[in-house]
Amino acid sequence: MRTAMDSAKTVFLFPGVGAQQPNMFAEFLIYPEYRECLEEVSEISQVNLHEVIHGERRSDLKQVRIAQLALTATTVAIADILRKHCGLVPDFVMGHSLGQYPALCAAGYLDLATVTKVVSLRSEIVEACARQFDQGEMCWVLHVPAEVVAQEVEKARRDEGVEIYLSAVDAFDQATVSGEMAQIRRFAPRMEALGGLLYPLRIGGPFHSPLMADARAQLESKLDFLPDCATSSQPISRLVCNVSAAEAPAADLRTSILHHLIAPVQWLRSLQYVAQNGVTRYLEISPKAVLSYLNQRANLPIEPVCEPHDLFSFAQEMSAPERRHERFLQRCCYHLYSAKLPPIEDAAALEQLRRIRTEVKEALSTERKETAVIHARTQQWLSIVEDAGARSLAIDRRRLQNLFEAAEQRV
């Protein structure tokens, strides 16, 4: 299924462990950005990802740490290709479980080297912590309203001492619980009595729950390499944290990364958040459709831009010069003619805005459409609106810059 790319708001979605598969994204090997991402993550992690994904070590993808590194490298690479070659910069990014880390990179909150260090260190600590439990596991609970599952989990812990925790809410009637299998078996009759079905995910640990508190403490002591995000980050998209189901503050990523270990993934609420903020398109950057299924079940007015198996042909189509140019002009016109303006009382500022619209209209009427002039005037427009509204439009200006650079490419 394809949905037209227009000026509608878009979110990029990144999957968690389980989406990986041998030779995934092989078509993208023609792009230097793809190969460079694999090389960078391989060098930092000391795992030869080209051999793991496209070579003779494909069975290693079953290992959680290697699967996480492979998904991080490949999905970040494709987001980078879509930005540089196609001029596609989403309004929002989101990731399910592990997917939050490539999302951090794609949105510009952290660079690939830093994200790789976090993912590698986190996976080692989490796996060691998981080994402390006797058959620690995560299980889907299907066919019971998620809010009922949450209530029953609390009751089982309070009334019967069952050590089990809610670890994800993916849909209205699909939740995940975490605990040792013996505890999950004690909890199962509650769900079965309500018509529910429990399905073990075979992840190998009670993740996204308070049972991972030791892992959180260990990781906290080793995150000194994180940059001062309040001053160094340059986001180009808004990141929705899958734990808070709200935008993650760039100035406090450490807290978000640590809380991510012990709190449930709020995927449904995160989808609802972007829908409430005007998103009507999503692109799942994944080897296979995992999140699209959950999106359909959320019954929100958000349509896929393309299916995961069409990503390569979609990128090829969108990289055509005329398509890049068209998207850049659409974004400029959106800012100049569609985006809501704050109250502006300064007569001089209003006159500047009117003059900008006139100049852009003239530039659009020429055969070459004078891209550089349109870009300069739209950036000027955003600066005036930013000053008048007393709120930052830095992300909008960086996004426009990326679109302009893509539009100006000759190939």
Is 112 contained in some domain? yes
- Residues 319-369 have pLDDT tens digits of 998 889 888 999 999 999 988 888 888 899 999 999 999 999 988 888 677
Q: Do 311 and 333 reside in the same domain of the chain?
A: no
Q: Do 152 and 258 reside in the same domain of the chain?
A: no
The secondary structure of 187-241 as a DSSP string is HHHHHHHTT-EEEE---SS--SSGGGHHHHHHHHTT-TTS--HHHH---SSEEEE
Q: Is 408 helix (H, G, I), strand (E, B) or coil?
A: helix
Is 200 contained in some domain? yes
- Residue 378's contacts (CB-CB under 8 Å, 6 or more residues apart) are 331, 332, 335, 336, 356, 360, 400
Domain of 300 in residue numbering reads as: 9-129+212-318
d(CA 142, CA 116): 33
Is 2 contained in some domain? no
Q: Do 122 and 232 reside in the same domain of the chain?
A: yes
Query: Strand 9-14 and strand 279-284: pairing?
Result: parallel
Q: Do 297 and 148 reside in the same domain of the chain?
A: no
Q: Give how many domains the chain has, as a whole number.
A: 3
Residue that is last in its domain, among 318, 338, 354: 318
- Which has the closest alpha carbon to 82: 275, 306, 277? 306
Q: Do 142 and 246 reside in the same domain of the chain?
A: no
Residue that is last in its domain, among 177, 205, 233: 205
Q: Do 84 and 102 reside in the same domain of the chain?
A: yes
Q: How many CA atoms lie within 13 A of 12 on its CB side?
A: 29
Q: Please state the pTM of the whole predicted model.
A: 0.92
Is 117 contained in some domain? yes
- Specify the pLDDT at position 340: 86
CATH value at residue 169: 3.30.70.250
Q: How many CA atoms lie within 13 A of 4 on its CB side?
A: 4
Beta-strand runs (E) in 309-404: none
Is 1 contained in some domain? no
CB-CB contact of 141 with 184 (8 Å): no
- Specify the pLDDT at position 7: 58
Query: Two tokens at 5?
Result: 């790319």
Q: Do 236 and 89 reside in the same domain of the chain?
A: yes
Is 3 contained in some domain? no
- Residues 245-280 have pLDDT tens digits of 999 877 778 888 999 999 999 999 999 999 999 999
How many CB atoms neighbour CB 341 within 10 A?
13
Q: Do 223 and 115 reside in the same domain of the chain?
A: yes
Q: Do 388 and 278 reside in the same domain of the chain?
A: no
Is 4 contained in some domain? no
- Specify the pLDDT at position 202: 87
How many CB atoms neighbour CB 213 within 10 A?
12
d(CA 41, CA 35): 10
Q: Do 199 and 250 reside in the same domain of the chain?
A: no
Query: Two tokens at 337?
Result: 């003619």
Q: Do 13 and 46 reside in the same domain of the chain?
A: yes
Q: Is 339 helix (H, G, I), strand (E, B) or coil?
A: coil
Residues paired with 284 in a beta bridge: 13
How many CB atoms neighbour CB 381 within 10 A?
22
- Specify the pLDDT at position 408: 87
Low-confidence ranges of the chain (pLDDT < 70): 1-7, 229-233, 367, 410-411
The secondary structure of 57-95 as a DSSP string is -GGGGGSHHHHHHHHHHHHHHHHHHHHHHH----SEEEE
Is 114 contained in some domain? yes
How many CB atoms neighbour CB 39 within 10 A?
14
CATH value at residue 257: 3.40.366.10
Residue that is last in its domain, among 318, 350, 365: 318
Q: Do 125 and 271 reside in the same domain of the chain?
A: yes
